Amino acid sequence: MADPEPDGQLDRDVCTLIHRFTQRLDGHVRRVAEELEMTPSQVIAVRELSEPITARELANRMSCEPSNVTFVLDRLERQGLVERRPHPDDRRAKQIVLTPAGRRRRTRVLDRLAEQSPLDPLTAAQQRTLRRLLHTLVTDG
């Protein structure tokens, strides 16, 4: 039988490894952003715009404040990559929609993010397992 780990060591190790991996992911996004002459926030926003959503939904997906998303969207709109359209079900809200140029940019972003991904050392099955485990950690209840 293996010796038990010192109190809290496993928790510290897991947290340290998650932090290091997060830094690796962040560096990858930054490199892609620089290559595509975008900010990292713009890369993440374009990645998350798979369908029309509100700015609040986008902020939630990006884990940031809606005011930060407004700034990012203003820049993307000036670049012709997104449009704000009336929400079909809520007169008070706008939907964020990729323009044709935005859809082309999103394809480039996704392609570049997939190249030399920090997840590449894992098989597809391992990535699915990791997704399931992370989902368990971040899901309430």
Task: Report if residue 13 sits inside a domain.
Answer: no
Report the share of the chain in percent with pLDDT over 90: 80
9 inside domain:
no
Q: Is residue 97 part of a domain?
A: yes
Query: Which mean pLDDT values do the consecutive 10-residue runs of the chain (141 residues) have?
Result: 74 94 96 96 96 93 91 95 91 92 97 94 96 90 54
In this prediction, residue 3 carries a pLDDT of 62
8: left (phi over 0), alpha (psi -120 to 50) or beta: left
Cα(141)–Cα(122) distance, rounded to whole angstroms? 28
Span 78-116, pLDDT tens digits: 999 999 998 888 888 889 999 999 999 999 999 999 999
Cβ–Cβ under 8 Å, residues 68 and 44 = no
Q: 89: which DSSP letter?
A: S
What CATH number should be reported for the domain holding residue 106? 1.10.10.10
Total residue length of the chain: 141
Question: Per the domain annotation, does 11 fall within a domain?
Answer: no
| 36 within some domain | yes
Q: What is the pLDDT of residue 88?
A: 87
Global pTM value: 0.86
Number of domains in the chain: 1
Q: Which domain holds residue 96?
A: 18-138
In a domain, 120, yes or no: yes
pLDDT at 6: 76
d(CA 6, CA 78): 55
Task: Output the CA angle 89-95-96, nearest 5 degrees.
Answer: 165
Q: Is 101 part of a structural domain of the chain? A: yes
Token match 């884990």: residue?
A: 63
Gap between the Cα atoms of 86 and 83, Å rounded:
10
Residue 8: inside a domain, yes or no?
no
